[in-house]
Structures are given as C-alpha cells and as structure tokens.
Chains A and B, each alone.
Chain A
Amino acid sequence: MHTVAVDILTGFLGSGKTTLLRHVLDHGLHGKPVAVIMNEIGEVGIDGRVVTGLSAVEKMVELSSGCICCTIDDYRFDLAVQEIVETTRPHLIIIESTGLADPEPLVDRVKAAGLGLDAIITVVDALDGPRHLRETRVARLQIEAADFLMLNKVDLIDSGAADQFDRRLAKANPRAERFRTVRGVIDSDVLFATGVAAFRDRARRADAGDAGHLHTDGFASFVYRSVGSLDQERFERLVARLPRDIVRAKGIVRFAGRDWQCLFSVTCGRPELTWVKLPAVAENQAVFIGRNLERHEETLRRQLAACETAGDGPQERRQTHG
C-alpha cells in the first residue's frame, strides 16, 4: 500500500479547501484519476457534492459526523482506505480534512494505514486568516504542519496586507513553499504527487531539445541516474539537507549491502523513505524539482556522485529545463 500516495488538504473553516480541490481536479492532475476522502463534521456532507461526478475522481468517500483527526476512530478510517484501495486501486488519495482538524494526528493515521504521505497542503484565508490565528490554536497548527501554504483570497486584501501576512506565514513555517491564489486557482504541478511525473517528462523533453515544455511557475527539474549502489548514510544526510530552493525530490536508489531498493520522497525538506523490491529497475533514478537550479544542480550532482560507492560506474544524464 505504500505505493499509494496521500496528499492531505487542510485549512481553517471557509479558507477555500474545496474550491481549490475542485480546481485541481478539473485542471491539474494530467487526467490521472484519484480517490478523494472528504471529511465533514456534520452528518450531511456538503463539500462532497462539489467533487462528485468529476471525471478525475475515480472514487469519493465521505467521512462525516466527526473530525478525521480525533473523533473518527481508526476502524472507520482504515475501512474507508481499504474500500478505496480494494475497489479502485488509485495511485493518489487526496484527503480533505475538516476546517478544525490538526494535521499531525492525521499524518500518523495515514502512515499507520501503510500509505505514503506525499504532501500537506494548507489553505489560508488571506482576509480572515489573521483573526483565525488570533482566536484558534488549530489554525496555527495547520500552518506549521504544511509543506505547501496556499494564501487564498488575496484579491480581498491589498498587496501590502498580503505581504505582511505572507511574512507572518513564513515566520510560522519557514520550511513551507508559499503560493498566493484567488478562488483556489493554482497553475503548478508541484503540489500533488501525480505532478512529479510531469516534471520528469519535461526534463526528458528538454534533454531531447524540445523547448516547448517551459513551465510558467518558475520551477525547473533535472534527473539524476547512476548504476551501482549508494552509501546509505551519505545519501540520507544529503536528502535531509537539501537547499531551500528544492521543493521536491523523488526517486528509487539502491544502497550498498541492501537487497531492497529505497523509495525516497522529499517535499519541502520533509523526507519520507520506504523500501521496495523491483529487480527490473537496475539503476538509481531521481528527479529534483525547484527554483534557481542553476545554482544548485552542479553541487547536488557532485554530492550524489560522492554517495556512489567505489567500483560503480555512474551513468548520469543531465536534464534541465526552466
């Protein structure tokens, strides 16, 4: 089940989570079908109706009458996950939490269910967010847990107020990548797990000389490949200390002395590692996505080469776009 990725969409009441989800499901997942778990405190799901029927949604499960981080028990959560995995075998599950959920216990639940946590996306109301932060603790917890912070409804405040709130968000969570949105409209592939393959594809096309792939969100990517095994300790140290500009890194590598390969995913500095056994994948492969790659690529390649154990013959392919 660890090959099922989970993206958690959270944010305080009325911040625009469902609006953003609807936009992403309509425009942003490259036609890849996903499953959605909608959690609402009330007995009758309202938000679920907004995404039901969208072609990108292969399966939608509503968890109502309780909060997914506390009052919904493990049995109901695991049952929902099991139903989704067994009936639709999705590659990605998006969980939209209630506006009052603390993301951290939900993260624990996702991991305990054997799923791979990809990203925590927190939507923040640009107009009412400062008040939410003053009045509730959970609004701060949602911001602090985020990999991606979406400052939504920025059209309702002036640019000075947006800048001021943005600085406050950066202070509360310096690790997160921040975006500004209006009505949840976001044109970027970095948010959800299924978008990473698009960056791989762009890197490949760049390598083939296709200049038509340039992305407007300012992110670029490069691919690292090598044969042989890597030193685990050095590699873990490398991925735990990636530059701030690298928002995502993902791949499969083989460590010296290990029979199984390591699947790694780093989202805004938060690494996740798990194991897989795929004899058909003979080489190490990784994609690095971020800003200002011209400043970082050479150093990262040098550091990756330093992870390669003696006697291995690295076969790297340089691919950059942006």
Chain B
Amino acid sequence: MAERPGDGPKKPPAPAEPAPPDQGYTEDEEAEVRKRLEDLGYVE
C-alpha cells in the first residue's frame, strides 16, 4: 500500500487532554456540539 509521497506527514502533536476539573459540556451544549460534529462529518 503506497504511502503519501514527499516529506511524509508529520505525526500529529500529541494533544494534551483537558484538565480533570473541566467536566465537559452541559446537556444543551453537548446537543449543539453533537449537531456541529454531524454537520462537519465527524459523527452521524
């Protein structure tokens, strides 16, 4: 399986996971984020 030519993709920088005190989204925010991610093709 041929890989992409050139310099080759850089390994993505290991993103830092958010700090534990951040509990994520509220229910309303989560619904909006979910809709956004659907429209951008991340989830269905």
Give the interface centre of A236, A239, A250, A277 by most chain B CB atoms within 10 Å. Answer: A277
A-B contact count (CB 8 A): 132
Number of interface residues of A (CB under 8 A): 60
Contact of A285 among B2, B4, B9, B43 (CB under 8 A): B43
Given contacts A200-B44, A259-B17, contact A269 B36 (CB under 8 A): no
CB neighbours of B3 from chain A (8 A): 241-244
Q: Is the CB of A280 within 8 A of B30?
A: yes
Q: Which of A96-121 contact B (CB under 8 A)?
A: 118
Q: Is the CB of B5 within 8 A of A274?
A: no
Q: Does A321 contact B (CB under 8 A)?
A: no
Q: Is the CB of B33 within 8 A of A250?
A: no
A-facing mask of B18-35, CB < 8 A → 1, else 0? 101001110000101110
CB neighbours of A276 from chain B (8 A): 33, 37
Contact of B4 among A243, A273, A280, A296 (CB under 8 A): A243
Q: Does A260 contact B (CB under 8 A)?
A: yes
Q: Is the CB of B9 within 8 A of A174?
A: no
CB neighbours of B13 from chain A (8 A): 273
How far does the Cβ of A206 sit from chain B's closest Cβ, in whole Å? 13
Contact of A243 among B1, B20, B30, B42 (CB under 8 A): B1
Alpha-carbon distance between A200 and B37 when the two chains are bound, in angstroms: 12
Given contacts A285-B42, A285-B44, contact A299 B1 (CB under 8 A): yes
CB neighbours of A251 from chain B (8 A): 42-43
Contact of A3 among B10, B12, B23, B40 (CB under 8 A): B40
Q: Is the CB of B12 within 8 A of A260?
A: no
Contact of B42 among A252, A258, A275 (CB under 8 A): A252
Contact of B12 among A89, A258, A272 (CB under 8 A): A272
CB neighbours of B18 from chain A (8 A): 260, 275, 277
CB neighbours of A18 from chain B (8 A): none
Given contacts A240-B9, A240-B11, A278-B34, contact A197 B17 (CB under 8 A): no
- Contact residues of A with B, CB < 8 Å? 3-5, 32, 89, 91-92, 118, 173-175, 193-201, 204, 223, 236-237, 239-244, 250-252, 258-260, 262-266, 268-281, 285, 287, 295-296, 299
What are 22 inter-chain pairs, A to B, with CB distance below 8 A? Answer: A3-B36, A5-B40, A32-B39, A174-B6, A194-B41, A195-B41, A196-B42, A240-B11, A242-B3, A242-B4, A243-B1, A250-B41, A252-B42, A259-B17, A259-B20, A263-B37, A269-B8, A272-B12, A273-B13, A273-B14, A275-B18, A279-B30
